[in-house]
């Protein structure tokens, strides 16, 4: 085709479009009624332009995009900085959430904070953060290595048992002096005390797994023992949490029986009906992990499981965790599926949860030396229960003093899972803003001390 002919094929249709448009507009003028227009002055036109720009800045979508941008940048920057001092990147993301909340940005830049995180936008932020948590807990359930659980089950179960029962007992005792001063009005003592007990019993399985991986302990006896005990402890803790939530929502132990029976029936259906059906589906599908239809089925199971748990009266996150745990054991299937959702969940949606937690964490509420003393007491009891209970169980099991203390330090890691549990307690109005802030600081302190404690133990026991 010559250049002239090619040019005409572009120019002639464009001229025809202009001609058709001109004749159509001229004819259309006869159809419309007379319109009286006032010619704005220069100042009025400028004011209208500025008003339009201002409305664009405050549009909910613009605000949300700015929030995402700020959250991702702050999370990645803080994650990079904490990795420089030997801490896991998730610690930086948690700290970024605290810094973007009222504790720092809200105090130093109140107008900018009110612009970026207006109260009207917090509902959307909370919903999306919950979606990120659902995906995250689903991934955690899929990452559970059931073969490891079986191979090291006996010793790890004993360690996990002590690492839960000792801090839980200490938490029940700690709740007695805390209840009158810090429990929200109308919350019964048993609900408050049970929740304090479970918050001190949590081990952050995902953060612990990342620490073990980063320190090349994955295939060592210490690493396998710790990760297995943490995995068993996570399963037990989530079951206990589901029971506590059922009691708290129902109002009493007696009225929660229906919820508990429904939860048991749901778990049985997932294990004995849904799990075999999913295994058959994956076996019959060729390269099933890459098919969109299989992806749709898996996501439907995840969402339906989360929905059932929410309707039953236990949290949706429990349903997401169990849905991940019952997925087919095929390693290729699990890795492919995890890779598809992990980046979106961890990089984009999960930081929203950290910031939402940070917006709830108000360090300024601890404006009295006695409050800081209470916070230090909570941290001390948490470390004594989890670190001491795990180390004691490992020592009784025949481990060396070095390995026992190392297991105690690793099991004392709380991090992200602790924040999930605390937010559930805050949403259920079991925790007041003050005790919520103290517990968040406890989660940060116990997670932050893991790496230094391991280094100190290695230095003492060369």
In the chain, domain spans: 98-251+345-460
- Determine the distance from the C-alpha atom of residue 278 to the mean position of all C-alpha atoms in its chain, rounded to a whole number: 26
d(CA 332, CA 316): 27
Residue with tokens 């169980």: 393
Predicted confidence at residue 34, as pLDDT, reads: 66
Rounded to the nearest 10 degrees, how much is the dihedral formed by the CA atoms of 168, 173, 175, 176?
A: 160
Predicted confidence at residue 253, as pLDDT, reads: 62
Predicted confidence at residue 289, as pLDDT, reads: 46
Counting other chains too, the contacts that 81-89 makes at CB distance below 8 Å and 24 or more residues apart are 86/451, 86/455, 87/448, 87/451, 88/207, 88/210, 88/211, 88/214, 88/415, 89/210
d(CA 268, CA 308): 13
Half-sphere exposure of residue 290: CA atoms within 13 angstroms, side-chain side: 3
Do 171 and 224 touch, CB atoms closer than 8 A? no
Predicted confidence at residue 288, as pLDDT, reads: 45
pTM of the model: 0.74
Residue with tokens 């898996």: 298
d(CA 450, CA 406): 9
- Determine the distance from the C-alpha atom of residue 326 to the mean position of all C-alpha atoms in its chain, rounded to a whole number: 20
Do 182 and 212 touch, CB atoms closer than 8 A? no
Give the closest residue to 442 by CA, choosing from 379, 383, 393, 352.
Answer: 379
Count of beta carbons in the 10 Å neighbourhood of residue 220 = 13
Q: Kindly list the distances between the CA atom of residue 173 and the CA atoms of 165, 189, 219, 406, in Å, as whole numbers in the listed order.
A: 12, 12, 38, 26
Residue pLDDT tens, the chain, 462 long: 677 777 777 888 888 888 888 888 777 777 767 655 555 555 655 666 666 676 777 778 888 888 888 888 888 898 888 888 878 777 888 888 888 888 788 888 888 888 888 888 788 888 888 888 888 888 877 876 666 555 556 777 888 888 889 999 999 999 999 998 888 888 888 888 988 998 888 887 767 776 776 677 766 777 778 877 877 777 777 778 877 887 777 666 666 677 778 888 888 998 899 888 888 887 776 554 457 778 888 889 999 999 988 888 777 878 888 888 888 877 777 777 787 787 777 777 878 888 888 888 888 888 888 899 999 999 999 999 999 988 998 888 888 888 889 888 888 888 777 888 888 888 888 888 899 999 989 988 988 888 888 889 888 887
Q: Work out the burial of residue 79: count CB atoms within 10 Å of its CB; fewer than 13 is exposed, 13-18 middle, 19 or more buried.
A: buried
Please give the helix or strand (H or E) that residue 71 lies within, else none: helix 60-84
Give the closest residue to 163 by CA, choosing from 456, 457, 446, 451.
Answer: 446
In angstroms, the first-to-last Cα distance of the chain is 81
Predicted confidence at residue 397, as pLDDT, reads: 82
Residue with tokens 């007041």: 432
Count of beta carbons in the 10 Å neighbourhood of residue 41 = 9
* Whether domain 98-251+345-460 has CATH 1.20.1530.20: yes
């Amino acid at each position: 085709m010559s250049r002239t002919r090619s040019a005409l094929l572009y120019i002639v249709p464009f001229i025809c479009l202009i001609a058709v448009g001109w004749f159509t507009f001229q004819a259309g003028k006869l159809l419309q009624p007379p319109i009286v227009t006032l010619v704005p002055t220069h100042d009025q036109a400028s004011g209208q332009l500025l008003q339009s720009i201002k409305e664009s800045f405050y549009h909910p979508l613009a605000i949300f995009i700015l929030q995402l941008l700020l959250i991702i940048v702050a999370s990645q920057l803080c994650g990079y900085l904490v990795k420089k001092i030997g801490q896991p990147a998730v610690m930086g993301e948690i700290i970024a959430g605290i810094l973007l909340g009222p504790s720092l940005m809200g105090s130093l830049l109140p107008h900018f904070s009110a612009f970026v995180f207006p109260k009207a936008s917090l509902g959307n932020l909370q919903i999306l953060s919950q979606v990120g948590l659902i995906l995250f807990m689903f991934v955690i359930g899929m990452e559970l290595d059931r073969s490891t659980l079986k191979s090291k089950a006996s010793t790890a179960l004993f360690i996990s048992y002590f690492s839960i029962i000792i801090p839980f007992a200490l938490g029940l005792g700690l709740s007695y002096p805390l209840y009158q001063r810090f429990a929200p009005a109308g919350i019964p003592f048993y609900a408050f005390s049970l929740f304090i007990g479970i918050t001190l019993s949590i081990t952050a399985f995902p953060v612990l797994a990342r620490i073990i991986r980063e320190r090349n302990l994955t295939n060592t006896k210490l690493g396998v023992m710790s990760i297995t005990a943490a995995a068993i402890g996570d399963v037990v803790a989530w079951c206990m949490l589901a029971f506590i939530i059922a009691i708290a929502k129902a109002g009493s132990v007696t009225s929660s029986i229906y919820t508990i029976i429904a939860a048991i029936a749901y778990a049985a259906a997932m294990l004995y009906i849904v799990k075999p059906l999913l295994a058959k589906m994956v076996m019959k599908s060729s390269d099933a992990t890459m098919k969109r239809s299989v992806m749709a089925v898996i996501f439907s199971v995840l969402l339906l499981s989360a929905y059932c748990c929410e309707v039953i009266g236990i949290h949706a996150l429990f349903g997401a965790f169990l849905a991940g745990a019952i997925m087919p054991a095929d390693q290729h299937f699990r890795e492919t599926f995890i890779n598809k959702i992990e980046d979106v969940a961890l990089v984009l949606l999960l930081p929203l949860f950290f910031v939402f937690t940070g917006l709830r964490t108000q360090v300024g509420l601890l404006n009295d030396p006695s409050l800081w003393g209470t916070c230090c007491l909570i941290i001390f009891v948490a470390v004594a229960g989890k670190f001491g209970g795990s180390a004691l169980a490992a020592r009784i099991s025949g481990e060396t003093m070095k390995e026992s203390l190392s297991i105690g330090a690793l099991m004392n890691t709380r991090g992200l899972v602790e924040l999930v549990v605390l937010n559930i307690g805050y949403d259920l109005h079991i925790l007041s803003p003050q005790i919520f802030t103290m517990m968040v600081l406890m989660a940060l302190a116990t997670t932050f001390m893991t790496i230094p404690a391991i280094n100190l133990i290695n230095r003492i026991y060369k």
